[in-house]
Amino acid sequence: MATITRAEVNVTSPGRNFVTLRLTDADGTTGLGDATLNGRELAVASYLADHLIPLLEGREADNIEDTWQYLYRGAYWRRGPVTMAAIAAVDVALWDIKAKRAKVPLYQLLGGQSRIGALAYGHASGREIPQILDSVREHLELGYKAIRIQSGIPGLGSVYGVAASAAGGGERYDYEPARRGIAGGERLAPVEEAWDTRAYLRHIPTVFEAVRAEFGPDLPLLHDGHHRMTPREAASLGKALEPYDLFWLEDCTPAEDQAALRYVRSQTTTPIAIGEIFNTVYDYQTLITERLIDYIRSAVTHTGGITHLNKIADFAAIYGIKTGFHGPTDISPVGQAAALHLDIALHNFGIQEYMKHSAATLEVFDTGYTFTDGLLHPGDRMGLGVELNDDLAAKHPYDPAYLPVNRLLDGTMHDW
């Protein structure tokens, strides 16, 4: 047993912004937690520095459940991405400390190993079908055994999920959709993208037809609808994609509306995944108990940490629903490692999203996890297995960034 004696928030931008919390206990053991919320980083940094850290010093580091309940119930204004990312960072840092004190990799405290590695999916994309096929080939060469496909849409400019240099660079460091600050003080505003759902619905089945024709029926393929469709549109896409046997269709409708998925579910057998913008188990309550989804997409980083996501996963398991945790590059290596320890331990693991971080990010965050032959391995370091190099982090100051916004062709704001 040892009390928390120190808590520091680090904001660094090695290619993109990350917010990291470091807790230290009275014996000098340190733990890290990821608190990155793309486009709203400083709100979480302030929540931690101004509202949580003053409550942490002197608390018992071992009492993780009590600390979680204290921060969640004690806020009164519960839930929401800022609050839950801040609580997640504290929670993961405490799990890191506990595992280091026990001298075991964190997954050992979560039940031990349920599998030899976590099946990961990568992001293939392109503006045109030939570029998409090249991108799938590159991912297969990198070892991926499951691949998400995102495509440009005829008549539209930049579209969510299509990497900026679409045909080259298999590891796709240029995927990041957030627009970063502009040197010279120009006012920073989100990029405005144009959107046309009818053009999208016409085009996407032709993309999957081409990918299946080229790579055969076996390869697990995924697609992200990024919250843009009505239930009827989503149902029609799900039906149109049935011949291509998707692993999942993600975020087909706006995520606030759990009931929307009743109609989608009744119309199509395409598996449904949702949840990257959810914060608590209550966002899933209808979806899980009515079996409206197949995969929960939360990130440890945005869902109250390991303590809460573990409970969501167990709740989902009772209904035969699996995990597919969020893991784009705006989850830091600390958040990615936390997901990985859960992936290895949970019985109802399904798949893990994985995009390798940039070289600059991996200099700042020293990681112990590896990707081999399609599987992610948390490694055998004690705790989470990730350390933050403060000196290198200091070389990359915060750089304001915003995710894009979406407008229909007549200028109406739409979901991005």
Does residue 398 carry a catalytic annotation? no
Residues that bind Mg ion (CB under 5 A): 224, 276
Read off the tokens for 84.
């839950």
d(CA 229, CA 221) in angstroms, rounded, equals 20
Backbone dihedral angles phi then psi of residue 308, each to the nearest 5 degrees: -80, -40
- For ligand KDG, give the closer residue by CB, 140 or 403: 403
User: Which residue is nearest to Mg ion, using beta carbons?
Assistant: 224
The dihedrals phi and psi of 289, each to the nearest 5 degrees, come to -70, -30
Give 96 or 224: the residue with its C-beta nearer to Mg ion.
224
Q: Which one is catalytic: 72, 160, 200, 369? A: 160
CB of 171 to ligand KDG, least distance (A): 15
Active-site pick, 139, 226, 227, 326: 226
Tell me phi and psi for residue 259, to 5 degrees.
Answer: -65, -25
CB of 91 to ligand KDG, least distance (A): 20
Among Mg ion, ligand KDG, none, the one that 330 touches (CB under a kind-dependent 5 to 8 A) is ligand KDG
Nearer to ligand KDG, 86 or 299 (CB): 299
CA angle 149, 200, 250 (to 5 degrees): 45
As a whole number of angstroms, the distance between CA 281 and CA 397 comes to 34
Regarding beta strands 18-25 and 375-377, do their DSSP bridges make them parallel or antiparallel, or are they unpaired?
unpaired
Residues in the site for ligand KDG, rule: CB under 6 A?
A: 38, 224, 226, 276, 326, 328, 330, 353, 403
What is the closest distance, in whole angstroms, from the C-beta atom of residue 298 to ligand KDG in the complex? Answer: 11
User: Which of 340, 349, 298 shows the shortest CA–CA distance to 322?
Assistant: 349
Q: What's the closest the beta carbon of residue 4 comes to Mg ion, in angstroms?
A: 34
375-377 and 405-408 beta bridge pairing = unpaired
Opening angle at CA 86, ends 370 and 82, nearest 5:
110
- Specify the residue, 276 or 294, whose C-beta has the smaller distance to ligand KDG: 276
First to last CA, the chain: 46
Residue labelled with tokens 């297969």: 140
Instruction: Answer yes or no: 357 catalytic.
Output: no
Give the nearer residue to ligand KDG in terms of CB position, either 12 or 38. Answer: 38
Phi–psi pair at 102, nearest 5 degrees: -80, -10
Q: How far is the CB of 339 from Mg ion (least distance, A)?
A: 14
User: Closest CB to ligand KDG among 71 and 222?
Assistant: 222
Distance CA 178, CA 330 (A): 9
Least distance from C-beta 396 to Mg ion, angstroms? Answer: 26
Helix (H, G, I), strand (E, B) or coil at 120: strand
Residue 256 burial by Cβ neighbours in a 10 Å radius (0-12, 13-18, 19+): exposed
Contact 11, 50 (CB under 8 A): no
Catalytically active residues are 160, 226
